[in-house]
Amino acid sequence: MTENQFKTILIFLVPQVVKKITEHFNCDDVNAVRSFYSSKLYALLEQEETKLWHFSPLNLFTLYEEETRTGNFNLPEEC
């Protein structure tokens, strides 16, 4: 996958995850984006080789929510 293809995937994926964050945590877009971008999950998501971009926005949100609750998250074994 080229870098441009990967960036395009993130451009579509990240807003969907952020929307779920705003809905679940009842926060505005700015705070949701800041929180997601500073998460461990996003640090891994922006690395193409982790293949986290294969996950649905709901799966990514679930991992994010777990990270906010516990400070960490567990990836499914297929990652």
Can you tell me whether residue 47 is helix, strand or coil? coil
Other Cβ atoms closer than 10 A to 42: 20
Check if the beta carbon of residue 62 is closer than 8 Å to that of residue 20.
Answer: no
Indicate the length of the chain as a whole number: 79
Chain segment 21-77, per-residue pLDDT in tens: 999 999 999 999 999 999 999 999 999 999 999 999 999 999 999 999 999 999 877
Q: What is the pLDDT of residue 76?
A: 79
Whole-number Å distance between alpha carbons of 66 and 35: 13
Crossing angle of helices 3-25 and 29-37, rounded to 10°: 120
